[in-house]
């Protein structure tokens, strides 16, 4: 039976893992919060709450999940200092930096082309509008 090696159940991931593993890695680094986490860590390391404030509007659950996924894939290093109160620092591994840099390239490209995208959307929407009430 399909045994997940990870602790918490993620059936959809497990199924798709079998058929196309590297597609899943791509999804991890381009996921909604994955992108933002990688870009943040490209600058410097962050503590959990600090990262949460920096990213903004992310629940602790999703941030924790995202960080765990990226850590498991070997992109993020989790450094939990044995102090009270707890202090955990997150940073990129060398391979994580490679990933983050490529994600940044893509993200920056979208920024550069944003204006053309807006124009394309306006044109598309107008063309639709025209077709509905001529």
Partner DNA sequence: CAGCATCCCTTTTGATACTG
Partner DNA sequence: CAGTATCAAAAGGGATGCTG
Query: Which position among 18, 83, 105, 130 is part of the footprint of a copy of itself (CB under 8 A)?
Result: 105
Give 87 or 121: the residue with its C-beta nearer to DNA.
Answer: 87
Phi-psi region of 57 (alpha: psi -120 to 50; beta: other; left: phi over 0): left
Place of tokens 């995202």: 66
> Alpha-carbon torsion 10, 99, 111, 54, what sign?
positive
3-state SS, residue 3: coil
By CB under 7 A, tell whether 50 contacts DNA: yes
Give the CA distances from residue 69 to residues 20, 94, 118, in Å, rounded to whole numbers and listed in that order. Answer: 17, 16, 33
Give 89 or 97: the residue with its C-beta nearer to DNA.
Answer: 89
Q: What is the length of the chain?
A: 134
**Do 91 and 79 touch, CB atoms closer than 8 A?**
yes
* Cβ 115 to a copy of itself shortest distance, Å: 10
Q: Let me know how many helices (H) and strands (E) the chain has, helices first.
A: 6, 3
* Cβ 55 to a copy of itself shortest distance, Å: 12
Give 50 or 71: the residue with its C-beta nearer to a copy of itself.
Answer: 71
Point out which residues bind a copy of itself (CB under 8 A). Answer: 5-7, 21-23, 25-27, 29-30, 32, 35, 71-74, 95, 98-99, 102-103, 105-107, 109-111, 113-114, 116-121, 123-125, 128
Point out which residues bind DNA (CB under 7 A). Answer: 7-8, 10-13, 15, 31-33, 47-50, 57-62, 64, 67-68, 78, 80, 85-88, 90
């Amino acid at each position: 039976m399909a045994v997940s090696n990870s602790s918490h159940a993620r059936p959809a991931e497990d199924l798709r893992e079998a058929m196309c593993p590297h597609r899943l890695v791509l999804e991890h680094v381009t996921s909604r919060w994955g992108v933002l986490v990688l870009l943040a860590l490209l600058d410097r390391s962050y503590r959990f709450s600090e990262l949460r404030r920096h990213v903004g509007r992310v629940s602790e659950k999703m941030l924790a999940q995202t960080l765990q996924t990226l850590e498991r894939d070997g992109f993020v290093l989790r450094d939990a200092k044995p102090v009270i109160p707890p202090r955990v620092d997150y940073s990129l591994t060398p391979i994580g930096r490679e990933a983050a840099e490529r994600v940044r390239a893509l993200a920056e490209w979208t920024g550069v082309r944003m204006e053309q995208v807006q124009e394309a959307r306006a044109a598309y929407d107008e063309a639709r509008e025209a077709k509905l009430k001529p």
